[in-house]
Chains A and B, each alone.
Chain A
Amino acid sequence: MFNVQDKRFKIAHKEALIGVVLVIINFAIWFGFAYGLGSGDPLEYDYVFGFPAWFFYSCIAGTIFMIIAIWIAMKLFFKDISLEEEDEQK
């Protein structure tokens, strides 16, 4: 029975791949802002809402951006499928 290719797996594989893409984006934002803006002299940092700019964009704005991105990705790509056996098989 394991050799039956289940249609639902196609969907599951695509969604897993979206997870990988999201993590790469997440890492890029996090790393880029932190070390891009934070590598200079700390006495000359810019501040946004009281936080150093690197910290604000990397840890605060970046996190909020990711949450929105995850929400949009799920609205657009994630499908509602049955997890039980009887539906799609046979």
Chain B
Amino acid sequence: MHWSVIIPLLIFLIIIFGIGIWANRQVRTSNSFLQEYFLGGREMGGFILAMTMMATYGSASSFIGGPGVAYNTGLGWVLLAMAQLPAGYFVLMVLGKKFAIVARRIEAITLIDFLKKRYDSHTIVILSAISIIIFLFASMTAQWVGGARLIESLTGLSYINALLIFAVAVLAYVIIGGFRAVALTDALQGSIMIVGTVILLIATVIAGGGVDTIMQGLVAENPNLVTPFGAEQNLTPLYVSTFWILIGLGVIGLPQIAVRAMSYKDSKSLHKAILIGTIGIGTIMFGMHLIGVFARPVMPGIEVGDKVMPLLTLEVLPPVLAGIVLAAPMAAIMSTVNALLILVSSTVVKDIYLNYINPKASDAQIKNRSFWVTSIIGIAVVIFAVKPPELLIMLNLFAFGGLESAFLWSVVFGLYWKKANKYGAISSMIVGLTLYIVIYRFAENIYGMHSVTIPIIASLITFVAVSMIAQKVKKIEDYHF
């Protein structure tokens, strides 16, 4: 056990915990429990909005998996990672004000609320709720496994103990504090992610003897490491470019991201968040992946990619600083899990319980159900994370693309195309999801593109075609927001 590394991590957990308790006071005194618990009362300022977008988006893969792949692939992987830059500004600019205005007008608290009012269809509500619950449950489990593995390797605790410490910490503040606790802890976690990235990048460059020396080392080992095509030359321009759809543009269709675009306070906050968010995402994605590449000459011969970042940190930094930097991946994992947890819980309580089971629930009942649902989902995830089933791992891997295939066009056209209707939305959701599952299972990288490309294009065509036909046949009126 490296105590000087663990103490900063413990202090970090205690502060996070304190924020949860503070946010719980807001929850108890608020006069609209639903708005407060699931949206933090729509009060996020610019900095918090930027950080919560960034922290929700940046997950275990940005800090653990990504640098590991970059270690083996070289600068080409950093190029690919930079396709994520639009996630900082594109989502907020496109959904931005319109989504926030509409959400306030129709008092939407979840993404499904919005879809329900816009398309007026139970099929959409149920289809969306099922996709959100299944995919995000799988994502949460995977994040949790990653978090437990990280603590396990740092502290020498057993996997189960590490998992329990991690789970109790996250569950406690999310259950009692709701969205406000999630957003506030995201702000702290996001800041740690940025600071940690910068410290580690500088330390790695120094340990490697400067950028020139590091580059010479890479070229000497394999010149392809410094090309855009990757060490094995398998990163084609087409493949790398299609990542823009998955991790840059399609992000609009991720419910955990979209819901943030309706929870901020005013236009000023939005403008500020766009700038801070882009700088933050740019710094983290560029920094962490470049660190992975630079680690190669500094620490050659690491065989498990996931260990590159923790091992490098312990090697190039003094222990206390290493503790702070290693809080970054923990923060990334916690902030993703907490966002998913509150989203799944809002889907169950708001979209299923209030819509179909008990529409006349009193405030006290809603409050009670919300705490229970959040706790039960959280605990269920922990149980699954003890020994994650095969199916869950597979679902997690395509959760990102699956959700985008399902939601992207329904959200975008729902906001900006008055001829969009429920027939278009339903068929595009089904086409997107089915195609994605089929391509993912049987023909990954079809025609040299990322597997999300064709489903997104196909669901776009389906949406437009079916909406137009339905319009002609049924004479549906145009719909304005």
Q: A interface vs B, CB < 8 Å?
A: 1-6, 8-9, 11-13, 15-16, 18-20, 22-23, 26-27, 30-31, 34-35, 38-39, 41-43, 45, 47, 49-52, 54-55, 58-60, 62-63, 66-67, 70-71, 74, 78-85
CB pairs A–B below 8 angstroms (9 shown): A16-B93, A23-B249, A27-B244, A42-B223, A45-B226, A63-B286, A83-B104, A83-B267, A85-B105
Cβ of B481 within 8 Å of any chain A Cβ, yes or no, is yes
Number of A-B contacts (CB under 8 A): 139
Is B65 an interface residue when CB atoms closer than 8 A count as contact? no
Interface SS of A by simple majority: helix
Determine which of A3, A8, A71, A83 lies in contact with B266 in the assembled complex, contact meaning CB atoms within 8 Å. A83
Whether, in the assembled complex, B22 has its beta carbon less than 8 Å from a beta carbon of chain A, the answer is: no
Contact of A84 among B82, B104, B210 (CB under 8 A): B104
A-B contacts besides A12-B98, A55-B228, 4 pairs, CB < 8 Å: A19-B89, A27-B244, A67-B275, A80-B268
Q: How far is the CA of A2 from the CA of B248 in the complex (A)?
A: 31
What residues make up the interface of B, taking CB atoms closer than 8 Å to A? Answer: 75, 78-79, 82-83, 85-86, 89-90, 92-98, 100-101, 104-105, 210-212, 214-215, 219, 223-224, 226-229, 237, 241, 244, 248-249, 266-268, 271, 274-275, 278-279, 282, 286, 416, 479-481
Q: State whether A18 touches B93 (Cβ < 8 A).
A: yes
Secondary structure type dominating chain B contacts: helix
Q: How far is the CA of A66 from the CA of B100 in the complex (A)?
A: 25
The smallest beta-carbon distance between A85 and chain B, in angstroms, is 6
With beta carbons under 8 angstroms apart, the residue of B94, B95, B267 that contacts A79 is B267
**Chain B residues, CB < 8 A from A42:** 219, 223-224, 226-227
With a cutoff of 8 Å between Cβ atoms, the chain A residues found around residue B286 in the complex are 59-60, 63
Q: A23-B86, A27-B244, A85-B105 are in contact. Are A51 and B211 (CB under 8 A)?
A: yes
Chain B residues with CB under 8 A of A59: 78-79, 82, 286
**B416 CB contacts on chain A under 8 angstroms:** 13, 16
Q: Cβ of B215: which chain A residues have Cβ within 8 Å of it?
A: 47, 50-52
Question: Which 5 A-B pairs give the minimum distances between C-beta atoms?
Answer: A19-B93, A50-B211, A42-B223, A12-B98, A12-B97
Contact status of A83 and B268, CB under 8 A, knowing A43-B219, A50-B215 = no
Docked pose: A1 CA to B214 CA in angstroms: 63
> Complex: how many Å from CA A43 to CA B85?
29
Known: A30-B83, A38-B228. A80 touches B241 (CB 8 A): no
A55 and B97 contact, Cβ closer than 8 Å, known pairs A2-B480, A71-B275, A83-B267? no
- Most chain A CB within 10 A, of B82, B244, B279, is at B82
